[in-house]
Amino acid sequence: MNTIVSKRILSALSLAAVLGSPLMASAETGNANTRFTQRAEQAKARMEERNAAMEERKANWEEKKEERKDERQDAFCARFTERLDNKDERMGDRADNAKERIENRTSRRTDRRDDRDEWLDGKRDTQDERRTALYAKLDEKADTDAEKAAVAEFKKTVDAAVETRRVAVDKAIEDFRSAVDALVASRKSGGADAYSKFKSAADAAAAKAKSDCEADVDPKTVMSEYQAAMKTAREALKEDRSSIDKIRDDVKALAETRKKAIESAIDTFKSTVKAAAEKLRAAMGSDSK
């Protein structure tokens, strides 16, 4: 019994000695380090995989973001370019309409002048007929050579007075028309220059906006710069138009000058005819009218 117990104790002590020896401790430490290294490498590998996946997703997201940005840029540029083209077309239409209105005013002014000339010619024809009838009556009343000479002198004086009056009236009308035409032409030229300047500025703003679109400039920047350029162009147009002389008051002044010139010609004519008539009465006696 004691012998068996002693053997078991010796075996246990031998095993403990073996397990507690430096050789066994070193082996276990080496195994632990290997497992730790493996786990660390595995963790590193998983981390690298996750990082690679994240980078790939980020790259894909950035690519899609860039694609969406390009699509938005293309869509904006397409819409904006279409708007610019439509606006340019409308500006062209307005310019054509303005030109048509000017041509219509010119045509109406010409028509009014033609109507006035026709009226004046008709009135003069009537005056010539009446004067011819008067001359015929005077010729019938003239019996003596002195009376006939007086009638001839009267007719000559009246005819000259009529011609002088008509020349003066025609000159007053022509001076008025020429001055009005000059005012209209000056205003038209000033308006055309102002619009041409505005159109050039608008075209330049549109061209820059289109160029910026093609260069992928931010749409907000493209829009804001275009709007700022157009605002400046419109303000310049407004200022240029305000500096163009208004011709209404000038036309009124010219009309008053024409009126006075015609009235003066008529007054001179009446005075001349009155003096000639008095001289004729004196030559033909108290019965002459």
Cβ neighbours around 90 below 10 Å, total: 10
pTM equals: 0.63
Distant-in-sequence, close-in-space partners of 280: CB < 8 Å, separation ≥ 6: 138, 150, 151, 153, 154, 288
Q: How far is the C-alpha of 148 from the C-alpha of 160, rounded, in Å? A: 18
Distant-in-sequence, close-in-space partners of 76: CB < 8 Å, separation ≥ 6: 213, 219, 222
pLDDT at 287: 47
Q: How far is the C-alpha of 128 from the C-alpha of 152, rounded, in Å? A: 16
pLDDT at 122: 97
| Tens of pLDDT, residues 110-163 | 999 999 999 999 999 999 999 999 999 999 999 999 999 999 999 999 999 999
| Tens of pLDDT, residues 62-93 | 665 555 556 777 888 888 888 888 888 888 88
Dump the DSSP string for 171-183.
HHHHHHHHHHHHH
Q: Which of 215, 90, 95 is nearest to 225 (CA)?
A: 215
Classify residue 246 by its DSSP letter. Answer: P
pLDDT at 148: 95
pLDDT at 81: 84
